[in-house]
Every structure is written in C-alpha cells, then in structure tokens.
Amino acid sequence: MKDFPFDPNIFNIDILEKKYESFLKDLKAKIPKSIDEKTLDKNFEEFSISIKEMTEKFSKFYEYIKTVPLIVLLAKWIEKQIFEKNQEGSIQLLNILIRENILPIMNNNKLFLLEDLKRYSHLKIIDNIRCKDNWSFLEKENFVNSYLDFSFFLAQNSFNYITAAKDPDREKISTRLIKYETFIEFINNLPKRDSLIAKILYFGAPTIEEAISLKFSQINKKEGKIYYSSKTIDYPKYLLEELFAFSKKTQKDSLVFINIKGKEVERSHLNQSFLRASNKMSKMIKITPGMLLKHKESFAENKK
C-alpha cells in the first residue's frame, strides 16, 4: 500500500484564504445579476451573528437543563398525555417503572437530575426492564416501548441534552426477515423452552444445530457472549440470564435445552412446536426455525 501523499501546504493560512476567496468568487458568478450582492453579504453577517448568539444561549441552556429534576419532565410529559387524551396506559406503565425503581426519580435522598439520567443511560433502564423475570415477554416489550416514547419526549424538551433511546434488541435484528413485532407475537405462543431456542436463533445463532446442541460451557454470562464453533455472538444479557434461570442443571457440560428424556431436543419436535405457534398467529404466516436465521437481503437474493 502506497503512502498517502502529504501536502505541506494543507495548513498554510495564505493558501487556504486564497482557495476560500476563489470558492466564493465561483459561487457569486452563479448568482443572477438581478440579485443584490450586498444583500447576500448582509445575510451572511446576520447569520454569523445569529449562530454565535444561539450557541451562547444553548450553552447557558445546557448548563441549566442538566440541573432540572427528572420528575419535572415527568410532570410535563403527563400533562402532554392528558392533553392528547391517551394517558391511561402510558402513565400507568411509567408509574410501574418508577415504583419498581427501574426509572429512578431519587438518588441518595436527592432528586434525580437530568445529568444523573445522562450518566445512568437509557440502555441500563431498558436492560433492567427486560431482566424482570416476573413479567411476560409481551409485558416487557410494552414497558420498553413506553420508555422509548418517553425518551423521545425527553429529547425534544431538552433539545437533545438527553438523546432519544434506541432499542438494542431492535437494532440487533434490524436486517432479519421476520419483523420484531411478528417475532414477539410468535414466541408468545411457544412453550418456554422452545421460545428460548427461538430467541437464541433470532438473536444470532449460526445454525439450528448449534442452537439446540448449546452447552452452558459455551456461555459467558458476564460478557453477554455465546461461543459457537464457527463464531462468537453477542447476546442480550437478560436472555443469557433467562437460560440459566430456566435450566435445572447448569453444569458446564450440560445441554441448555433438553427433552423429557434428558436428551437433545429433536429437530422434528421443534418444527412441530413452531407450526402450532404459527397457527395461533393473528396473520397467516408459517414461521420455521430456519426462517429466524434469515436476513432480508439473503432471502431476496434466493428468490431471484
């Protein structure tokens, strides 16, 4: 690989000024003579002054906004929900998150500020929602969606001091053939063990065989990884917690998924289980284990 040629004049102020002047001259040449050049110069000056003033105002605003208690924004959000007449479900869900201390409003007997939330991170809140073992998968998704909506409100009303949250699960499977909403409904119709296999497939297992033959020795719960023979896959940590909570035997050489005989789950049984769950879907769609591995691009290419 050849070295990139370094231009010694790249930081030469005189040369840069000449290039800038040449660029402006070319721009002005494209402007019709009917447009007053002095007006454009005035617009440029006014814009430069406005940008400087707004930068100073935003700097002061950000110094202020980080000291605002989160409960103030919550009150403002509730006011918005009431005004839009859709408050019932959303307010209840956020209230449960506060009650469960998933969304904190106090910090060591002090009000939880927006700068505290910025350090705390959206990801931690979303992870804590999905780690609640006494909530169903569907309930967790409702809580996550409510928090995502609230985070968009925070972003708008703090002028992005608090940025809108992104769902790490949706980001991870954004290229999957099966949409996330479809997947949520589907696994809600599966028995617990088979729903866990479905999640392992959907969130990254290389093959069906490697998923059903998975052993606890391959799982690094602390780092959120599963080591397959062909590759290492990052998984949501709550999912790995679910695997350990579900199984009675978690010795390193133990299979994660077993049938009633204590053996590896048969592929034919998994197919039948998936078929029964598909038949319960609100839309006519047949989901097989293999479909959970497919991506939109590869599926489109195979159809050509």
Phi and psi at residue 230, to the nearest 5°: -95, -30
The Cα–Cα gap between 6 and 8 comes to: 6
Phi and psi at residue 107, to the nearest 5°: -140, 105
Q: How many CB atoms are located within 10 Å of the residue 151 CB? A: 19
- The pLDDT of residue 273 is 97
> Who contacts 300 (Cβ-Cβ below 8 Å, separation ≥6)?
none
Contact 213, 263 (CB under 8 A): no
- How buried is 37 (Cβ within 10 angstroms: 0-12 exposed, 13-18 middle, 19+ buried)? exposed
What pairs with residue 255 in β-bridges? 215
Report DSSP state, residue 141: H
SS3 111: strand
The Cα–Cα gap between 55 and 131 comes to: 41
Contact 93, 143 (CB under 8 A): yes
Q: CA torsion 79→84→87→91, rounded to 10°?
A: -50
Give the CA diameter of the chain.
Answer: 88
The Cα–Cα gap between 281 and 287 comes to: 10
Contact 231, 205 (CB under 8 A): no
Whole-model pTM: value is: 0.79
Contact 246, 193 (CB under 8 A): yes
- The pLDDT of residue 1 is 46
Contact 181, 173 (CB under 8 A): no
The Cα–Cα gap between 158 and 2 comes to: 48
pLDDT by position in tens, the chain (length 304): 455 554 555 545 566 667 777 877 787 788 887 877 788 788 889 999 999 999 999 899 999 999 999 999 999 999 888 887 666 678 899 999 999 999 999 989 999 999 999 999 999 999 999 999 899 888 999 999 999 999 999 999 999 999 999 999 999 999 999 999 999 999 999 999 999 999 999 999 999 999 999 999 999 999 999 999 989 999 998 999 999 998 877 788 899 999 999 999 999 999 999 999 999 999 889 999 999 999 986 555 455 4
